[in-house]
């Protein structure tokens, strides 16, 4: 604003020079005023054209990384016109949780952000490129951008600004730790049986119809086929011998919602869940996810059907990376309601920092219905006594040691 006022004063002075020259009959004074206005006019036109055909590009080589893993980010500007730029200032916004190595940084007016600063000049048809290493310091989904370019005329009379609306994003996966290092035994940590895996009918793999037999559950009756054939028909399914693991991730870290949440305990839960998902995938198990947390881009509980596809681990890690800190509601009633959708005989791995009486009742009921139950407890207090047959892994000591060494927790 100050520069603009100063420039306006100069233009007024040139006009006054012309008037004084006319009144006094001094041609030299008139010429000086006219030359000043010509320079101001050229500067105005130059400024208006300065950012035309100037393009800003940002490219992130690998937009999905693990915590503290580096990836390359390239920033470039190109001037695609025959008019040079005597100065070009570029600022690009970056979240605080994304570190840009060896960049010139400054404070941003936006909360939880900083800006990368570039000052340069551009000849006609010139391209300039800057290369950086970036890494995520905490799990999450981060926006990089927007950027803004500033330029002007060669004489510094005028300034122009151009926003760059295009944003890029980087997803930082949660930390994954081998189960023995996490404090979970390497041999059958999820209660896998020695003598092989039991065979169940997989309701996600229908194979046909047959006549109803005494003892068949009503939920597999095909009522449309029954009406068409005038005889009670039930759906049949292909058998499945895969070991199915459902990760039950409890986001709540306090007994009452108004108490807020514990960032440290939440990261303990997410790290443990990601590590179990990685183990189950390595064992070629079918893995699913159910959580009362919500991802950043959704407003409903997180549910992923079990799958043994190679992409399933990536999908689960992406979901855990973006999970928000506050639960959509208590887990106990949601787990009880959704447990009907879990495959028969599936192993449910409950990862929690706090276990209420209601939650313990649901765990006991699910165990009684034939599910193998595993509880991974990461809270600050003593875990409750588990019902008979429920496997407990208490990981408090592991995380407390890491936190004392400043090697874990939100940064």
pLDDT band of residue 19 (cuts 50, 70, 90) is confident
pLDDT of residue 15: 66
What's the sign of the alpha-carbon dihedral 233, 238, 244, 247?
negative
pLDDT of residue 66: 94
The per-residue pLDDT for 237 is: 60
Q: pLDDT value at position 225?
A: 83
> Does residue 246 sit in the same domain as residue 387?
yes
Rounded CA separation 335/362 (Å): 8
Query: How sure is the predictor about 196, in pLDDT bands with cuts at 50, 70 and 90?
Result: very low
Give mean pLDDT, residues 315-333. Answer: 89
- The rounded distance, in Å, linking the Cα atoms of 202 and 103 is 54
Same domain, 43 and 191: no
Q: What is the DSSP letter of 283?
A: T
As a whole number, mean pLDDT of residues 135-157 equals: 87
Residues 169 and 233 in one domain: no
C-alpha–C-alpha distance, residues 266 and 281, integer Å: 23
Same domain, 157 and 233: no
264 and 293 in a common domain? yes
| Largest Cα span, the chain | 118
Check if the beta carbon of residue 147 is closer than 8 Å to that of residue 155: no
Is there a domain that residue 213 lies in?
yes
Q: Does residue 131 register a pLDDT over 80?
A: yes
* Residue 409 within any structural domain of the chain: no
Instruction: Quote the number of domains for the chain.
Output: 4
Of residues 214 and 65, more confidence is placed in 65
**Whether residue 155 is found in the same domain as residue 248:** no
Neighbours of 262 (CB within 10 A): 19
Domain of 378? Answer: 179-197+241-404
DSSP secondary structure letter of residue 295 = B
| Backbone phi, psi, residue 234, to 5° | -125, 150
Cα distance between residue 360 and residue 375, in whole Å: 10
Contact 233, 225 (CB under 8 A): yes
Residues 6+ apart with CB under 8 A from 182: 272, 275, 395, 398
**To the nearest whole percent, how much of the chain has pLDDT over 70?**
83
Burial class (CB in 10 A: 0-12, 13-18, 19+), 194: exposed
pLDDT at 35: 74
Rounded Cα gap, residues 120 and 301, in angstroms: 48
Question: What integer pLDDT is reported at residue 175 of this predicted model?
Answer: 92
- pLDDT at residue 354 greater than cutoff 90: yes
What share of the chain has pLDDT > 90, as a percent?
A: 45
Considering the domain boundaries, does residue 411 fall inside one?
A: no
- 71 & 154 share domain: yes
- The secondary structure of residue 137, as a DSSP letter, is S
Residues 150/119, Cβ–Cβ less than 8 Å: no
> What pLDDT does 153 receive?
75
The pLDDT of residue 226 is above 60: yes
DSSP bridge partners of 373: 348
Q: Are residues 189 and 110 in the same domain?
A: no
Among 140-144, 155-159, 335-339, 340-344, where is mean pLDDT lowest? 155-159
Q: How confident is the model at residue 199 (pLDDT cuts 50, 70, 90)?
A: very low
Q: How many other C-beta atoms are found inside a 10 Å radius of the C-beta of residue 348?
A: 25
- Please tell me the predicted confidence (pLDDT) of residue 207: 64
Predicted confidence at residue 272, as pLDDT, reads: 95
Q: Are residues 291 and 400 in the same domain?
A: yes
Instruction: Name which of 302, 333, 327 is nearest 317 in CA terms.
Output: 302
Q: What confidence tens digit (pLDDT) does each residue in 62-89 have?
A: 999 999 899 999 999 999 999 888 889 9
Q: What's the pLDDT score for residue 138?
A: 92
Q: Which pLDDT belongs to residue 37?
A: 66
pTM summary value: 0.77
Let me know if residue 77 belongs to a domain: yes
Task: For residues 277 and 397, state if they share a domain.
Answer: yes
Is the Cα dihedral 160, 55, 136, 170 positive or negative? positive
Question: 117: closest CA among 75, 157, 86, 158?
Answer: 75
Which range of 108-112, 132-136, 209-213 scores highest in mean pLDDT? It is: 132-136
At residue 198, does pLDDT exceed 50?
A: no
Whether 144 is covered by a domain: the verdict is yes
DSSP E strands in 46-103: the ranges are 54-60, 64-66, 70-79, 85-95, 98-101
Query: What pLDDT is attached to residue 224?
Result: 83
Tell me, yes or no, whether 246 lies in a domain.
yes
Tell me: do 29 and 100 sit in the same domain. no
CATH code, domain carrying 289: 3.40.50
Please indicate, yes or no, if residue 123 is contained in any of the structural domains: yes
Beta-bridged to residue 90, according to DSSP, are 118, 149
How far is the C-alpha of 169 from the C-alpha of 63, rounded, in Å?
Answer: 7
What is the pLDDT confidence band of residue 29, given thresholds at 50, 70 and 90? Answer: low
Stretch among 114-128, 151-165, 263-277, 307-321 having the lowest mean pLDDT: 151-165
Q: What is the pLDDT of residue 240?
A: 47
* Whether pLDDT at 342 is above 60: yes
- What is the overall mean pLDDT for the chain? 84
Q: Please check whether residues 92 and 24 belong to one and the same domain.
A: no
pLDDT of residue 76: 95
């Amino acid at each position: 604003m100050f520069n603009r006022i100063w420039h306006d004063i100069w233009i007024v002075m040139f006009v006054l020079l012309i008037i004084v020259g006319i009144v006094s009959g001094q041609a030299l004074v008139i010429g000086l005023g006219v030359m000043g206005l010509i320079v101001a006019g050229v500067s105005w036109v130059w400024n208006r054209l300065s950012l035309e055909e100037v393009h800003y590009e940002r490219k992130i080589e690998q937009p999905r990384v693990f915590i503290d893993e580096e990836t390359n980010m390239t920033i470039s500007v190109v001037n695609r016109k025959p008019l040079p730029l005597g100065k070009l200032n570029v600022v690009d916004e970056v979240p605080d949780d994304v570190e840009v190595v060896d960049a010139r940084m400054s404070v941003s007016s936006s909360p939880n952000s900083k800006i990368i600063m570039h000052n340069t000049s551009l000849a006609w048809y010139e391209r300039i490129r800057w290369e950086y290493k970036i890494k995520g310091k905490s799990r999450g989904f981060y926006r990089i951008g927007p950027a803004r370019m500033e330029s002007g005329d060669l004489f510094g009379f005028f300034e122009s600004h151009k926003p760059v609306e295009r944003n890029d994003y980087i997803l930082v996966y949660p930390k994954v730790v081998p189960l023995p290092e996490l404090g979970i035994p390497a041999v059958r940590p999820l209660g896998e049986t020695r003598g092989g895996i039991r065979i169940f009918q997989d309701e996600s793999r229908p194979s046909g119809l047959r006549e109803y037999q005494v003892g068949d559950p009503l939920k597999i009756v095909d009522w449309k086929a029954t009406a068409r054939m005038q005889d009670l028909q039930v759906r049949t399914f292909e058998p499945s011998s895969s070991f199915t693991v459902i990760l039950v991730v409890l986001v709540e870290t306090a007994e009452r919602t108004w108490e807020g949440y514990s960032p440290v305990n939440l990261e303990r839960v997410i790290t443990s869940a990601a590590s179990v998902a990685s183990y189950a995938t390595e064992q070629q198990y079918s893995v699913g996810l159910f959580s009362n947390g919500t991802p950043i881009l959704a407003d409903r509980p997180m549910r992923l059907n079990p799958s043994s596809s190679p992409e399933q681990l990536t999908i689960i890690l992406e979901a855990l990376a973006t999970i928000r800190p506050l639960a959509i509601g208590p887990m106990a009633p949601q787990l009880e309601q959704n447990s009907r959708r879990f495959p028969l005989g599936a192993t449910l791995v409950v990862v929690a920092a706090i276990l209420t009486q209601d939650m313990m009742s649901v765990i006991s009921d699910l165990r009684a219905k034939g599910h193998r139950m595993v509880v991974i407890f990461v809270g600050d207090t003593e875990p409750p006594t588990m019902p008979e047959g429920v496997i407990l892994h208490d990981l408090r000591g592991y995380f407390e040691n890491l936190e004392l060494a400043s090697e874990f927790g939100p940064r």
